[in-house]
Structure 1
Amino acid sequence: MAVLGILLFALGTSVAAQAQTTDVQTAWRLLDYMAVDYGGAVSGGRVKSASEYAEMTEFAASVSTRLAALPSTPARGQLIAGATRLQAVIAAKGAREDVARIAHGLAADLLKAYPVSLAPGKAPDLARGATLFAQNCASCHGMTGDGHGPDAAKLKTLPIAFSDITRARQRSPFALYQVIDQGIDGTAMQSFATLPSADRWALAFYAGRFAFPDALASQGERLWKSDPGLRQMIPDLTTLAGLTPEVLAMSIGTAKADAVIAYLRRHPDVVIQQAPGSLTVARDKLAQSLAAYRGGDRHAAQELALSAYLDGFEPLEPMLTARDATLMGHIESAMGEFRASLQQGRPADEIATRIQVLDGLFDDADAALSPDAASTASTFLGAFTILLREGLEALLIVVAMIAFLRKAERPEVLPYVHGGWIGALAAGGLTWGIATYAIGISGASRELTEGFGSLFAAVVLLSVGIWMHGKAQADQWQRYIREKMSRALSRQSAWFLFGLAFIVVYREVFETILFYAALWTQGNGGTMLAGAGSAVLLLGLIAWAMLRYSRDLPIAKFFAYSAWLMAILTIVLAGKGVSALQEAGIIDIAPLGGGIRVSMLGIFPTLQSMGAQLLMLIAVLCGFLLNRRRAAVAVG
């Protein structure tokens, strides 16, 4: 008897739970239906369709009844009050916007209080959805979803036109799934609950794409792949299934929302495939790295840790730098220290602790990267500081070359320098186009470009700086100009200056493009351009001042100042180059505990980067001392 009692109790509990789920789903479906279709019943305080208005009144009353029948919870009273308010607005023939706002809000609160499954267990099969639609839906809704199928005219209530963009913007795949699952009382729309759940979801996603043409989907694909912030807004199928274009448009604008929805409803699998540039990827890779390390496979652990940075975090760096450069630096350092701990064979518990620290930093990054964190001020300052920081370094080098050629009275070589930096800007634009519309640029590629470009420029500037310092020591500069300048600035040397100008500018343009591409996707394009324009203006003033006052400098002082400028930039670029190659996994990392980090000066707290800067400093000092000794010998 006891066993029988337990079985009866379990059966009763199961039936009650099923009834509750059905009431919640039905109430949610009715609320969503009213939010979308109320505009067809009432307009401007007047009834447009008596039958549809009667339907709205009936549905609102049904929602109240079903909510009252739900198990008692702290939220039920508020839900019932909301349903009563909705009935009152409908009875008063209120505005469509008010009904939609109340109904959508009530539907969201209902699911919070009485959760039900909102998403498919796997990505819907759109090919299967197309087959099912042709078999079960096209006769009424039409093959193109326009509501004009061959049987539509026979129906008392016209079928939904899925191609109606206005209503489609207010529907989520979950809303369509609910209608497919339960049908609509009083209409020819029957329930298809006998279909497997996967088939119902396939139908919902397929029907939800009609209002958004293929051309929009192509635009949406580019937006989805280029914007890590967007991928964070829609991180999984649950979010996508419950998302309407109207809600998404509140964050990114209607045009972008339509395009993104067009793409995702055709390719829902992409929200499951963790896209590069996702902190979820970084977290997963770090967890896998720890598991491999505990299992004794240190090499695999190191590779996974590197992937966590290059594939998970590095693509997010531009946007995070624009939002919170300090946090970006902390995460970058922490990930470097994590990889160093693996290389050093530190205890597994210490490795796990470092992952916990990174998890906390990732939480901060999630908050910083959220759409709510974006503002006009942050976009302007981000655009301004990024271009000023990245552009100043290249500007100093290019302006120094131009000033040098003017001092040397070699204007015929200037076109090579100008050609170099202009070509770099053009190449940067081409890079942006390829990265946005053709192929993605991997994290490793970005770091390798930055690393090798910086080291190449550092070596070249080292030799140029020492050479300029030597000329500052010469007493017979004019004689040198007459006798040696033609050989020193041969056509080969002119092309060398072209290459130097191209490299130093392109590496900065490359970085700036990544930052600006991230800022552009936030939707504050005008503000970003204002910030960039302000930075360009300031850089222009700096260039003018350098060229203006360099003309009045005595030749010896000009070369002395230029030599020290080249020396400083050599040391800065050496640190940046080594750091970038460390991030790409080419050079090992040996952290210096408590070391300072000033990325603008190329100072990073690792033995390798600081060592490279020290070597460059020694080379500079040795070169300068050698110049002084030669000058002293020449005088003697």
Structure 2
Amino acid sequence: MMRLRSLLALLLLWPLMSLAAGDAQTTWRLLDYIAVDYAGAVDKSGNVADAAEYAEMSEFADSVNRQLGTLATTPAQPTLVQDAQGLKSAIDAKADPDTVAKLARALGAKLLEAYPVPLSPKAAPDLEKGLAQYATLCAGCHGSSGHGDGQLAAGMDPPPVDFTAIDRARERSIFALYQVISQGLEGTAMPSFAQLPDTERWALAFIVGQFAFPQGQVEAGARLWQQASTHEAIPDLAALATLTPATLEARLGAEQARAVTAYLRRDPSVLLRSTEGSLQLVRDRLEQAVVAYRAGERDTASQAAVSAYLDGFEPVEPILAVKNPELMRTLEMAMTELRGRISAGAPADEVAGRVKELQSRLGAAEQALKDSSADAGSAFVGAFTILLREGLEALLIVVAIIAFLRKAGRTEVLPYVHAGTGVALLAGVATWGVATYLIDISGASRELTEGVAALFAAAVLLFVGIWMHGKSQAGAWQRYVKEQIGAALSRRSAWFLFLLAFVVVYREVFETILFYVALWSQGAERAVIAGAVAAVAALAVIAWLMLRYSRKLPVGTFFTISAVLMAILAVMLTGKGIAALQEANMISARLLDLPRFDWIGFYPTLQGLVAQVACTLVLAAGFAYNRRQAVA
């Protein structure tokens, strides 16, 4: 029972990682306000210019410290708390505004790295709709031109923000504006607009972000955009959303940065047009990793390398897997090895050499992806194989549970298993809707969800496999039924079976849905549907055969086969869980010179191999103990 409680505790803690991302956004917003507004509280000489503003900055710093302590535990949390204390000390000492701003910005960047959230819209925002929403929702307070002089502004304390004030606007990113629009601002009349779709909140942020950069600068910005140096500074939509104009000024100069900002905030789609059909984001992130690594900034280099995979390569990975699976696996392993070498502190020339080799292979991948629409044959095969592979993993576990309950004569518990499966399928449909129409599920979130779910399922199957093996020994099942038939499968156990069915099914549905979203966007929709239908039919036949023939097996044979099946799946899911967490950069990866077998969950890394060997040893010890008990 204690083991079951521990596993349930793991399952209950898992959603906290997702909830922490929302709390982290609130904390980040406080840090952004400190970075922007501290200059109005303390001057460069360390004198308090506005006592009320200074008190607010001190209060915000205290809130940051408190909130960081309540976030879900990660390896980065102690460092974040330490940095937050350093920020509070700097504010208490009335440090100059530049120092405080740098500390707040650096802490905010580390926070979003530890608790990832989408930093930009998944597509160019609809600015016409954003302008209409501004006129309806915002102009009453902020005025039609953003000066903070709307009809409702009179008497507001504090008054509405003047979006045209350049000193403030140059310190504020589109992402920061989006956060305020989404969450509102405590202590002011600014409400939350979380009820709006994510796409409309991003559009509003881009509209608000235009006011301080007038239309007259757009033409100059368009000319500057033709220069390679400008593209290097703003390589993608995520960079445009997260960069402040002040940061851009340091690279391009004040006048040039403001002109480019005026242009891109009015036409962000040019960033998508410039990289469409390519892996430019991957290339840019890899180059950033090399530059940072040569400068001795290993953490920044690691973050860029992780982003190259999760944000640049993984979204197109399903398509490349259909068109050139061998190249896809080669690139994936090369990126894993690069992250490992950065973490190990390899020589800078070695890291640069690996990036150069990766860049050349990306050219072959771009050639494979050049045709933006998948042909019907490859789309059918991709849709069929991914659903069959992922569905079979979940099916084996669920069918084994159902067969066990029937053998035990406890069919009244079957509705819990069916309900867990059904809820997981509905959650999968909801995931598809969210990923397609609302937000871009970040790469780190994807891998974290898959990894934690896989390890939870592996831990449960480890226990269940050993238990079933024990019942396969001579007379063990009859003794168990005779002694515990009244206590077995209580309501608590039934709900545990519901949770197990939900987790194992949702993990596979989650991965399949994200693959289908990518494949669907490439065209050949009918072929994708046909592949899915064919896979469902194949899974239905497999389920029917398993349930039919499991009834005819003797009890001992049934439990022996089930125990071996649970053991194999436990080892396989352990490997998959470790691999997913490695891709999310939660666990380091040391590659081994061994082949890779995705179907059985074997990925050639030292950490994954150690975890799978440990799982195998626990199973072997459990099976040996069961045999000794049977002889005794």
CA RMSD, aligned part only?
3.0
Q: Give 1:60-459 correspondences, 5 Å limit.
A: 198=219, 268-272=267-271, 279-371=279-371, 374-459=374-459
Query: What residue identity is the alignment partner of 1:617?
Result: T
Alignment partner, residue 49 of structure 1: none
Alignment partner, residue 612 of structure 2: 613
In the aligned structure 1, how far is the partner of 2:629 from the partner of 2:447? 40
In the aligned structure 2, how far is the partner of 1:400 from the partner of 1:391? 14
Alignment partner, residue 550 of structure 1: 550
Query: What residue identity is the alignment partner of 2:443?
Result: G
Q: Deviations over 1:462-495 (max 9, x none)?
A: 0000000000014152342243133231110011
Alignment partner, residue 518 of structure 1: 518
Q: CA deviation at 1:627?
A: 0.5
> Contact 1:469/1:627 (CA < 8 Å) preserved in 2?
yes
Q: CA deviation at 1:196?
A: 10
In the aligned structure 2, how far is the partner of 1:517 from the partner of 1:277? 17
Q: Deviations over 1:78-132 (max 9, x none)?
A: xxxxxxxxxxxxxxxxxxxxxxxxxxxxxxxxxxxxxxxxxxxxx9x989xx9xx
Q: CA deviation at 1:349?
A: 1.8
In the aligned structure 2, how far is the partner of 1:200 from the partner of 1:352? 33
> Contact 1:462/1:566 (CA < 8 Å) preserved in 2?
yes
Q: 1:200 and 1:482, CA in 2 relative to 1: closer, same or farther beyond 3 A? A: closer
In the aligned structure 2, how far is the partner of 1:553 from the partner of 1:478? 16
Alignment partner, residue 541 of structure 2: 541
Alignment partner, residue 624 of structure 1: 623
Alignment partner, residue 597 of structure 1: 596
Query: What residue identity is the alignment partner of 2:271?
Result: I
Q: 1:521 and 1:631, CA in 2 relative to 1: closer, same or farther beyond 3 A? A: same
> Contact 1:276/1:312 (CA < 8 Å) preserved in 2?
no
Question: Is 1:498 matched with 2:519?
Answer: no
In the aligned structure 2, how far is the partner of 1:547 from the partner of 1:402? 8
Query: What residue identity is the alignment partner of 1:630?
Result: Q
Q: CA deviation at 1:461?
A: 0.3
Q: CA deviation at 1:355?
A: 0.8
> Contact 1:454/1:576 (CA < 8 Å) preserved in 2?
yes
Query: What residue identity is the alignment partner of 2:622?
Result: G
Q: 1:372 and 1:444, CA in 2 relative to 1: closer, same or farther beyond 3 A? A: closer
Alignment partner, residue 569 of structure 2: 569
In the aligned structure 2, how far is the partner of 1:601 from the partner of 1:389? 10
Q: 1:490 and 1:199, CA in 2 relative to 1: closer, same or farther beyond 3 A? A: same
Alignment partner, residue 468 of structure 1: 468
Q: 1:197 and 1:552, CA in 2 relative to 1: closer, same or farther beyond 3 A? A: closer
In the aligned structure 2, how far is the partner of 1:482 from the partner of 1:201? 81
Larger radius of gyration: 1
Q: 1:405 and 1:422, CA in 2 relative to 1: closer, same or farther beyond 3 A? A: same
Alignment partner, residue 117 of structure 1: none
Q: Secondary structure at the match of 1:487?
A: coil
> Contact 1:420/1:499 (CA < 8 Å) preserved in 2?
yes
Q: CA deviation at 1:564?
A: 0.2
Q: TM-score, normalised by structure 1?
A: 0.57
> Contact 2:315/2:518 (CA < 8 Å) preserved in 1?
no
> Contact 2:391/2:508 (CA < 8 Å) preserved in 1?
yes
In the aligned structure 2, how far is the partner of 1:278 from the partner of 1:398? 41
Q: 1:286 and 1:479, CA in 2 relative to 1: closer, same or farther beyond 3 A? A: same
> Contact 1:424/1:502 (CA < 8 Å) preserved in 2?
yes
In the aligned structure 2, how far is the partner of 1:435 from the partner of 1:389? 22
Q: 1:487 and 1:519, CA in 2 relative to 1: closer, same or farther beyond 3 A? A: same
Q: Which runs of 4+ in 1 moved over 4 A?
A: 199-202, 273-278
Query: What residue identity is the alignment partner of 1:605?
Result: P
Q: CA deviation at 1:609?
A: 0.6
Q: CA deviation at 1:361?
A: 2.2
Q: Deviations over 1:483-526 (max 9, x none)?
A: 31332311100111110000000000000001111111122111
Q: Secondary structure at the match of 2:440?
A: coil
Alignment partner, residue 136 of structure 1: none
Q: 1:272 and 1:546, CA in 2 relative to 1: closer, same or farther beyond 3 A? A: same
In the aligned structure 2, how far is the partner of 1:201 from the partner of 1:334? 37
In the aligned structure 1, how far is the partner of 2:514 from the partner of 2:292? 33
> Contact 1:575/1:610 (CA < 8 Å) preserved in 2?
yes
In the aligned structure 1, how far is the partner of 2:613 from the partner of 2:588? 17
In the aligned structure 2, how far is the partner of 1:275 from the partner of 1:453? 34
Query: What residue identity is the alignment partner of 2:519?
Result: L
Query: What residue identity is the alignment partner of 2:510?
Result: F
In the aligned structure 1, how far is the partner of 2:597 from the partner of 2:582? 16
Q: Secondary structure at the match of 1:551?
A: helix
In the aligned structure 2, how far is the partner of 1:469 from the partner of 1:378? 42
Q: TM-score, normalised by structure 2?
A: 0.58
In the aligned structure 2, how far is the partner of 1:371 from the partner of 1:268? 26
Q: 1:275 and 1:399, CA in 2 relative to 1: closer, same or farther beyond 3 A? A: farther
In the aligned structure 2, how far is the partner of 1:305 from the partner of 1:509? 28
Number of residue-to-residue matches in the alignment: 385
> Contact 1:367/1:373 (CA < 8 Å) preserved in 2?
no
Query: What residue identity is the alignment partner of 1:382?
Result: G
Q: CA deviation at 1:360?
A: 2.1
Query: What residue identity is the alignment partner of 2:502?
Result: F
In the aligned structure 2, how far is the partner of 1:294 from the partner of 1:305? 14
Q: Secondary structure at the match of 2:296?
A: coil
In the aligned structure 1, how far is the partner of 2:280 from the partner of 2:539? 38
In the aligned structure 1, how far is the partner of 2:363 from the partner of 2:222? 32
Query: What residue identity is the alignment partner of 2:464?
Result: V
> Contact 1:292/1:298 (CA < 8 Å) preserved in 2?
yes
Query: What residue identity is the alignment partner of 1:625?
Result: A
Q: 1:200 and 1:394, CA in 2 relative to 1: closer, same or farther beyond 3 A? A: closer
Query: What residue identity is the alignment partner of 1:514?
Result: L
Q: Secondary structure at the match of 1:371?
A: coil
Alignment partner, residue 38 of structure 2: none
Alignment partner, residue 144 of structure 1: none
> Contact 2:278/2:366 (CA < 8 Å) preserved in 1?
no
In the aligned structure 1, how far is the partner of 2:480 from the partner of 2:217? 88
> Contact 2:320/2:369 (CA < 8 Å) preserved in 1?
yes
Query: What residue identity is the alignment partner of 1:431?
Result: T
> Contact 2:277/2:366 (CA < 8 Å) preserved in 1?
no
Q: CA deviation at 1:199?
A: 9.3
Q: Secondary structure at the match of 2:486?
A: helix
> Contact 2:338/2:351 (CA < 8 Å) preserved in 1?
yes
> Contact 2:277/2:372 (CA < 8 Å) preserved in 1?
no
Q: CA deviation at 1:417?
A: 0.5
Alignment partner, residue 257 of structure 1: none
In the aligned structure 1, how far is the partner of 2:278 from the partner of 2:372? 18
Query: What residue identity is the alignment partner of 1:326?
Result: E
In the aligned structure 1, how far is the partner of 2:437 from the partner of 2:397? 32
In the aligned structure 2, how far is the partner of 1:557 from the partner of 1:277? 54
Alignment partner, residue 241 of structure 1: none
Q: Secondary structure at the match of 2:591?
A: coil
Alignment partner, residue 140 of structure 1: none
Alignment partner, residue 64 of structure 1: none
Q: Give the fraction of aligned pairs with identical amino acids, expressed as a percent.
A: 56
